Structure 1
Amino acid sequence: MTTEWAVVAAAGQFTLDARNSGELTFTVSNPGRAPDTVVFDVAPGEGGQRAWFTVAEPQRVVPGQGSVSFLVRLAVPAGTPPRRYDMTGFAYSANTAPEESSRSSGRVTYDVQAVVPPKRTPWPWLAAAAALVLVVAGVVVWLVSRDGEPPAPPPRAEVVTVEAESLVSGAAVESTGVKAEVVAQPNCCGVTWSGDAQLFFQGRAVGDRVTVTVNLPVDGTWRFSTVRTTSYDYANTVFLVDGRQVGEPFFGFTPTVVRTDWIDVATLTLVKGPHQVTLAVVGKTQGTDRYYAGVDQLRFTQLLQP
């Protein structure tokens, strides 16, 4: 018999400090008479990331007609766009598939504020040094440009951003058993993707994978990042670039469909030209025969040497 968990947040909003950190307690109740082991997790809303949240002791035994409390800590990293975000807490029985017994709390919000570094009054000698730097810079600019040639502009970093669904037509799919597929999926399930679609990989087993090709314009050091999708039937996946795994596994399960913010995967040294980017299934956290995955965008940002 499936336990009908009840999940209640202690408040409808996290109270964040000046560093955009805070805590909130969620209570999970077992209305049945038999004890059951519950797993508690959080599902970030649009723009949020699971890595911002920490759950203390996420798996516990709850006695019949009893309850337990879970402390959720939230730490929003610096540089996150200031606005209102939201999340939900959810609980499911450890011995059943999450989609069979998962129950969610109400929506909980949190307001991220812009973090402004404290202003410091410069010492007089710092002001004098700054003035000297300006004078020296002016002399250098005059010396360089006195022959009528303006100084060379600083180099600009290359940024390659690709709508993942645009790569579906040239994608290669490998299946370990039942045939996996990849399609361009239009907006659905209350989610709007960039370009109004995502690359939707319909994997069927661990080891299934899809490979696309991304062209880079120059040799260099590149930061590889993506915008992903999570859902109740999405698998855990890793990326490979030119056959080599990069970054950590991405956990695809959330009770509802969620579009993530940009997620940094890895920093790579790559040469100019085409590169094979592979999304591979490595596991799942729920009981289902689906090993799905979604990718909204891919981005390679060149990192210039100082």
Structure 2
Amino acid sequence: MTTEWAVVAAAEQFTLDPRNSGELTFTVSNPGNAPDTVVFDVAPGDGSQRAWFHVAEPQRVVPGQGSVSFLVKLAVPAGTPPRRYDMTGFAYSANTAPEESSRSSGRVTYEVRAVAPPRRTPWLWIAAAAALVLVVVAVGVVLLTRDGEPTPGEPRVVTAEAESLVAGAVVASPAKSGAKVEAQPNCCGVTWSGDQQLFFQGLAIGDKVTVTVQIPADGSWRFAAVRTTSLDYANTVFTIDGTQVGGTFLGFTPTVRKTELLDVGTVRLTKGPHQVTLLVVGKTQGTNRYFAGVDEIRFTEVVARAVAR
């Protein structure tokens, strides 16, 4: 019997860094009762090449009613014309021809930007720049030695108790599983910050909960979170405004545990509201629950600092 694989991308697009590299998680699920070996691969869109993509461990055994996650890394070579490209992930059973059991994800896009080549700086400009640095350093010393002048400010930090965001949270379930979210009090020997956590009770892959966070200024922000793990907790990813940030978080542990503050990733944000989504992408244990818990989320402003020479 042919396995009817299901393939879901964690986001609708890759987030590329200044070198046009990025990564995205794809989850493949086996809805049948029998285990099967899946092969995951990438189908590049028009103008792109398979060599741009790397899939770690592309062949794995998936238990019945189980799922596995594949991390796809994308590295666009220099000189690629800047424009929007696309790709799809697809999966098929290892013991059949791809055309017999292949199933694909939705189309995933990525925006390739032009990378400016480094410019050579004439020696005259170097000398002028060096002189300017000396002037700036001298002025800086004078300013720092004046009485009453403020010291440079520390990076801004936006911290939210995740359970405080439950009231405005939006739950979505493509499978109409009946997923829900609530504020859960201390439980099972674990004490959360504020004595509660955001408890997401997902019941299928693709279930997600979205909260809104206000960012006070344009800039780069480092996103981190305190998470919870347990025996019926799922594998999840975070997206911000629809774009995946960081990799897959494995939610399974034999008992309920709270993590330390874990870095998720750095993202550039504008001032104002932003949508932070917790998305279920799979599980590693035999259970029909896809739960997840978040105790605290934090955004820390990334401040550029001068380098002493």
What's the TM-score, normalizing by structure 2? 0.52
Identity percentage of aligned residues: 62
When residues 139 and 270 of structure 1 are mapped into structure 2, their CA distance, relative to the original with a 3 A threshold, is closer
Between the aligned partners of 1:284 and 1:142, the Cα distance in structure 2 is 57
Structure 1 residues 89-104: aligned runs within 5 Å: none
Q: 1:145 Cα deviation (Å)?
A: 7.9
* Cα distance change of structure 1 residues 139 and 286 upon mapping to structure 2, 3 Å threshold: closer
Aligned partners of 1:218 and 1:271 also within 8 Å: yes
Partner of 1:154: 152
Per-residue displacement from partner, 1:157-203 (whole Å, max 9, x unpaired)?
10001000000000000012321000000000000000000000000
Specify the alignment match of 1:182 in structure 2: 181
**Is residue 2:219 matched to residue 1:220?**
yes
Q: Which amino acid aligns with 2:273?
A: P
Residue aligning to 2:275: 276
Give the Cα–Cα distance (whole angstroms) in 1 for the partners of residues 228 and 188 of structure 2.
11
Q: CA RMSD in A?
A: 2.3
Whole-angstrom distance in 1 between the partners of 2:248 and 2:292: 12
- CA deviations on 1:188-242 (whole Å, 9 max, x unpaired) are 0000000000000000000000000000111111100000000000000000000
1:267 paired to 2:246: no
Aligned residues: 170
**Alignment partner, residue 241 of structure 1:** 240
Answer yes or no: is the 8 Å Cα contact 1:141–1:151 preserved in 2. Answer: no
In structure 1, what is the equivalent of residue 163 of structure 2? 165
Matched, 1:287 2:286: yes
CA–CA distance in structure 1, aligned partners of residues 136 and 273 of structure 2: 41
Structure number with greater Rg is 1
Alpha-carbon offset, residue 277 of structure 1: 0.1
- The residue matched to 1:232 in structure 2 has which SS? coil
Measured against aligned partners, the alpha-carbon deviations of 1:93-141 in whole angstroms (never above 9, x if no partner) come to xxxxxxxxxxxxxxxxxxxxxxxxxxxxxxxxxxxxxxxxxxx999857
Partner SS for 2:167: helix
Residues 234 and 290 of structure 1 are in contact (CA less than 8 Å); yes or no, is this contact kept in structure 2? yes
Can you list the C-alpha shifts for 1:64-112, whole angstroms capped at 9, x where unaligned?
xxxxxxxxxxxxxxxxxxxxxxxxxxxxxxxxxxxxxxxxxxxxxxxxx
CA deviation after TM superposition for structure 1 residue 153, in Å: 2.4
Consecutive unaligned residues of structure 1, counting only runs of 5 or more, are: 1-135
- Aligned 1:30-45 pairs, distance under 5 A: none
**In structure 1, how many angstroms separate the alpha carbons of the residues matched to 2:213 and 2:225?**
13
C-alpha distance in structure 1 between counterparts of 2:199 and 2:302, whole Å = 29
Could you state the TM-score of these two structures normalised by the residue count of structure 1? 0.52
**Cα deviations across residues 9-36 of structure 1 (Å, max 9, x unaligned)?**
xxxxxxxxxxxxxxxxxxxxxxxxxxxx
Distance 2:166 2:296 in 1: 12
Aligned 8 A contact 1:177 1:204 in 2: no
Q: Is the 8 A contact 1:253 1:286 kept in 2?
A: yes
Offset from partner CA, 1:37-89 (integer Å, 9 cap, x none)? xxxxxxxxxxxxxxxxxxxxxxxxxxxxxxxxxxxxxxxxxxxxxxxxxxxxx
Task: Give the unaligned 5+ runs of structure 2.
Answer: 1-134
